[in-house]
Amino acid sequence: MNQNIHIIGAATTFGQPRLGVDLGPDAIRYAGLDKALYSLGYTVTDAGDIRSKYRVNASNHSVKNETNLLNYKEVMDFSLELAAEVDNTVSSGHFPLILGGDHSLSIGSLAGISKHYEDLGVIWYDAHGDLNDSRTSPSGNIHGMPLGISCGVGDEDLVNLYNRGIKVKPQNVVLIGMRDLDEGEKLYIKENDILTFTMGDIRAKGIENVMKEALVHLEGRTDGIHLSVDVDALDPLETPGTGTPVDGGLSLSESQLAMEMLNESERITSMDLVEVNPLLDEKNKTAEKAVKIAESLFGKKQL
Ligand SMILES: NC(=[NH2+])NCCC[C@H](N)C(=O)O
Ligand SMILES: [Mn+2]
Ligand SMILES: [Mn+2]
């Protein structure tokens, strides 16, 4: 694992309608992220937050429009800024650890990271596929679209953001924790043969076998792996402070085992940790879980 971690706060809320997810990066910091990483021996720097230049208020946020891409301009501008910061982070040899913020931030993080890899792999640890486009999205919320956009589907300017072309090949993607896929997403997964582990698969095979299969699939075909963790992959009993919770999710201990295995693989080269919304949380419990997940990814062992 890269010993130099650069934390980037991606304080965006425009990808979805619940106010407060832009406070996620500080909630994760206050839950003790940097101390946890220092104790594991890493050098940690923190860029502070990238924050939209657009003011957020209850009435201008997520107003329905005819394109079914809510807050399009806000998401576009934010993504460009984040992509540049992430690109510089990788160029300077650091591991980018991007704290969200809603999941639309992955448009920017993947745009910045993918510049540095021929065949970037992506592990999408989430209840959702985030593979919608404006036609298939039931909500118009762009946080339901970042993986689709990064795979080249949807609005041309978002697809070509920061550097032209597709950022991630669908065959280099693994979905883990799926339990709330929209019809269009299911179709896309089948048509593109995306390796997908639903909660049913995880219950049947166990998380250990799932992670092994995921790593075997990405071995050989990828030259780096980006891990995108949406805290709603975990069960809402574990992580209540998130905007689109779905029952029947992963436990903390399963997630810790998954992260430990990723640490041991030494293949993970960047990470997003997203959708922590402290305004929906109980005493910052969700941010504390996010820190535990990061600790396990960066090598904390139970024994
Ligand atoms: N990153 C997330 N939490 N995404 C939730 C997406 C929910 C739903 N599939 C939608 O597109 O609106
Ligand atoms: Mn999700
Ligand atoms: Mn997500």
Around 233, how many Cα atoms within 13 Å sit in the side-chain half-sphere? Answer: 32
What pLDDT sits at residue 61? 73
Strands 4-11 and 43-51, bridge-based pairing: parallel
- Taking CA atoms, 142 is separated from 15, 74, 134, 256, 273, in Å, by 5, 11, 8, 28, 17
What pLDDT sits at residue 203? 98
Q: Residue 284: exposed, middle, or buried by beta-carbon count in 10 A (0-12, 13-18, 19+)?
A: middle
Distance (Å) from CA 205 to ligand 1 centroid: 26
φ/ψ region of 284 (left if φ > 0, alpha if ψ in -120 to 50, else beta) reads left
From the alpha carbon of 181, which atom of ligand 1 is closest?
A: 9
Q: Can 126 be counted among the known catalytic residues?
A: yes
ipTM score of complex? 0.98
* List of the chain residues with pLDDT < 70: 60, 63
Q: What is the DSSP letter of 234?
A: B
What pLDDT sits at residue 66? 82
Q: Can 247 be counted among the known catalytic residues?
A: no
Which amino acid, 33?
L
Torsion of CA 106, 139, 203, 223, to 10 degrees: -20
- In short, whether 182's Cβ falls inside 6 Å of ligand 1 is yes
Which amino acid, 300?
K
Cis peptide before 299 (omega within 30 of 0): no
Q: Can 130 be counted among the known catalytic residues?
A: yes
From the alpha carbon of 244, which atom of ligand 1 is closest?
A: 3
Distance (Å) from CA 71 to ligand 1 centroid: 15
From the alpha carbon of 146, which atom of ligand 1 is closest?
A: 1
Quote the tokens at residue 195: 């390796």
- In short, whether 137's Cβ falls inside 6 Å of ligand 1 is yes
With beta carbons less than 8 A apart as the criterion, state whether 79 and 101 touch.
Answer: no
- In short, whether 133's Cβ falls inside 6 Å of ligand 1 is no
From the alpha carbon of 103, which atom of ligand 1 is closest?
A: 1
Quote the tokens at residue 64: 């329905």
Could you read off the pLDDT of 19-64 as tens digits, one per residue? 999 999 999 999 999 999 999 999 999 999 999 988 877 776 776 7
Residue 116, number of CB atoms within 10 A of its CB: 15
Phi and psi at residue 226, in whole multiples of 5°? Answer: -95, 130
Q: Can 230 be counted among the known catalytic residues?
A: yes
What pLDDT sits at residue 56? 79
- In short, whether 81's Cβ falls inside 6 Å of ligand 1 is no
What pLDDT sits at residue 71? 95
Taking the C-alpha atoms of residue 106 and residue 271, their distance in angstroms, rounded to an integer, is 10
Of 87, 126, 260, 295, catalytic: 126
Phi and psi at residue 201, in whole multiples of 5°? Answer: -60, -40
Q: Can 235 be counted among the known catalytic residues?
A: no
Which amino acid, 243?
G
Of 22, 74, 232, 272, catalytic: 232
DSSP string spanning 140-164? --GGGSHHHHHTT-S-HHHHTSSSS
Candidates 143, 155, 150, 106; CA nearest to 8 is: 106
What pLDDT sits at residue 65? 75
Of 103, 155, 281, 288, catalytic: 103
- Taking CA atoms, 221 is separated from 101, 123, 215, in Å, by 30, 14, 11
Distance (Å) from CA 128 to ligand 3 centroid: 6
Taking the C-alpha atoms of residue 109 and residue 95, their distance in angstroms, rounded to an integer, is 12
Edge-to-edge strands, sheet with 268-274: 43-51, 4-11, 95-100, 268-274, 224-230, 120-125, 173-178, 195-198
Distance (Å) from CA 226 to ligand 1 centroid: 20
